[in-house]
Amino acid sequence: MKLLVNPAQRYAKMRAHTATHLLHAQIAKIFPTTKQEGSLVDSDLLRFDFAAERLLTPLELAVIEKRINQMIYMAGEVVIEEMSIDAAAHLWAKMFFEDKYGDTVRVVQVKNLSLPEELKQDDTEEYFASFGDFLSLELCGGTHVANTKDIGCFSLISQEAVASGVKRITAVTGPKVSEKMAEVQSILDIAVNKLGIKTATQLQDKLDKTLREYEEMKSAMEAMESQSIRAILTGTDFSSGKDLDRVFLLPAHLNFKNVLACAKWVFDKENILVYNKEWNFLVMTKQGVSAKDVAIRLGLKWGGNEQIVQGRDEKVLTLFSK
């Protein structure tokens, strides 16, 4: 029986695995006391769980992505060496999960090289100098690329909180980065086309303008709806009942969330009940009368306070329907 290894798949996992080590090194710069809580390495896809009390900010994520790609472009050699556990500890190699190690361990070292001139900008040179001789130094039994340049490229996909004090980052490497960029470009092209602009560079201004117009239209629509509700409350026939001066049935198309503000404005000294055919109801009472007691006597399921209760209960239709 012969075991065959798929070279393409193996190299894709090697790229993702080495990138995971670089990602861990970057996260440790932000959260010095963090530790790995789990990981997944697949074909040009990685998922890394780590201990942290907060999510990374958008700026921190952008810097992490930038730094890891700089590490890739630096073409740092990846050296795998077996050494004593004491020697690994002396090098400050990362050790995870409270594992019990033998006397001899396998250490994956990503060497820190001098930066190419085109990368020497801002604080980049000083930043990488802070790593010392190694960009990453971990105990690991997995397979890796021989050089960081073999990763090709690195791009973050998402971050999320997966448990209390545990965060997760998902990223892609190699060819999957270009696939991601193609997807992003497709989304941009669709947005550019639908918004009627010429290039993606105009997208921010167009979105800002569109959102402003949307908020203005939304405010205008809410004002019109409030006027409509007030007109219905003041001009529509109503019935009455025990403890209730007025009972109104509102059209179902009206936004019931706006009813409270309108009713308070129109009927601040009366006991009223407003409902619609979707079972929504509002009970509002004047001082000295408990809206809770009214709802209880009507047998309605509610929530609220002494003067105002609201809810959704199909029983309201049988109580007041003609």
| 64 inside domain | yes
> What letter does residue 157 receive in the DSSP assignment?
E
Do the Cβ atoms of 174 and 44 come closer than 8 Å?
A: yes
Q: Considering only 58-62, 94-98, 165-169, 277-281, which range has the smallest mean pLDDT?
A: 94-98
Q: What is the mean pLDDT of residues 317-322?
A: 74
Range of the domain at 146: 7-176
| 222 inside domain | no
Q: Among the ranges 53-67, 127-141, 251-265, which has the highest mean pLDDT value?
A: 53-67
For 167-179, write each residue's pLDDT tens digit.
Answer: 999 999 999 999 9
Do the Cβ atoms of 122 and 21 come closer than 8 Å?
A: no
Which residue among 141, 176, 211 closes a domain?
176
Identify which of 15, 22, 93, 23 has the alpha carbon closest to the alpha carbon of residue 56.
23
Verify that 57 and 127 share a domain, yes or no: yes
Instruction: Please report, for residues 45, 136, 214, 276, 322, the alpha-carbon distance to residue 20 in angstroms, rounded to integers and kept in the order given.
Output: 10, 10, 42, 56, 68
Q: What is the mean pLDDT of residues 19-24?
A: 96
Q: How far is residue 252's CA from residue 316's CA, in Å, rounded to a whole number? A: 14
What's the confidence (pLDDT) of residue 96? 61
Verify that 14 and 157 share a domain, yes or no: yes
| 224 inside domain | no
| 204 inside domain | no
What's the confidence (pLDDT) of residue 115? 73
* Helix (H/G/I), strand (E/B), else coil: 188: helix
Verify that 48 and 170 share a domain, yes or no: yes
Identify which of 219, 229, 240 has the alpha carbon closest to the alpha carbon of residue 266.
229
Q: How far is residue 167's CA from residue 147's CA, in Å, rounded to a whole number? A: 28
Verify that 117 and 26 share a domain, yes or no: yes
Q: How far is residue 295's CA from residue 259's CA, in Å, rounded to a whole number? A: 18
CA 39 to chain centre: 19
| 147 inside domain | yes
Q: Domain with 113 in it: what CATH number? A: 3.30.980.10
Q: Domain with 311 in it: what CATH number? A: 3.10.310
Q: Would you call 290 exposed, middle or buried from its count of C-beta atoms within 10 A (0-12, 13-18, 19+)?
A: middle
Q: How far is residue 45's CA from residue 28's CA, in Å, rounded to a whole number? A: 21
Q: Which pLDDT band, with edges at 50, 70 and 90, does 99 fall under? A: low
What's the confidence (pLDDT) of residue 307? 85
Q: What is the mean pLDDT of residues 114-130?
A: 77
Q: What is the mean pLDDT of residues 7-13?
A: 93
Q: Which pLDDT band, with edges at 50, 70 and 90, does 164 fall under? A: very high
HSE of 247, CA atoms in CB hemisphere, 13 A: 15
Q: Among the ranges 20-29, 85-94, 229-238, 308-317, which has the highest mean pLDDT value?
A: 20-29
Share of the chain above pLDDT 70, in %: 97
What's the confidence (pLDDT) of residue 321? 64
| 22 inside domain | yes
What's the confidence (pLDDT) of residue 174? 95
Q: What is the mean pLDDT of residues 32-59?
A: 94
Which residue among 159, 176, 193 closes a domain?
176
Identify which of 238, 249, 251, 255 has the alpha carbon closest to the alpha carbon of residue 317.
249
Identify which of 49, 70, 59 has the alpha carbon closest to the alpha carbon of residue 121.
70
Do the Cβ atoms of 143 and 13 come closer than 8 Å?
A: yes
> What letter does residue 94 receive in the DSSP assignment?
B
Q: How many CB atoms lie within 10 A of CB 319?
A: 15
Q: Which pLDDT band, with edges at 50, 70 and 90, does 253 fall under? A: confident
Rounded CA Rg of the chain: 32
Q: What is the mean pLDDT of residues 45-63?
A: 96
Verify that 159 and 238 share a domain, yes or no: no
Do the Cβ atoms of 238 and 212 come closer than 8 Å?
A: no
Question: Torsion angle, CA of 134/139/142/143, rounded to 10 degrees?
Answer: 20
Q: How many domains does the chain have?
A: 2
Q: How far is residue 220's CA from residue 228's CA, in Å, rounded to a whole number? A: 12
| 260 inside domain | yes
Verify that 164 and 270 share a domain, yes or no: no
Q: How far is residue 65's CA from residue 23's CA, in Å, rounded to a whole number? A: 9
| 223 inside domain | no
What string of DSSP letters covers 228-255? HHHHHHHHS--EEETTEEEEEEE-TTS-
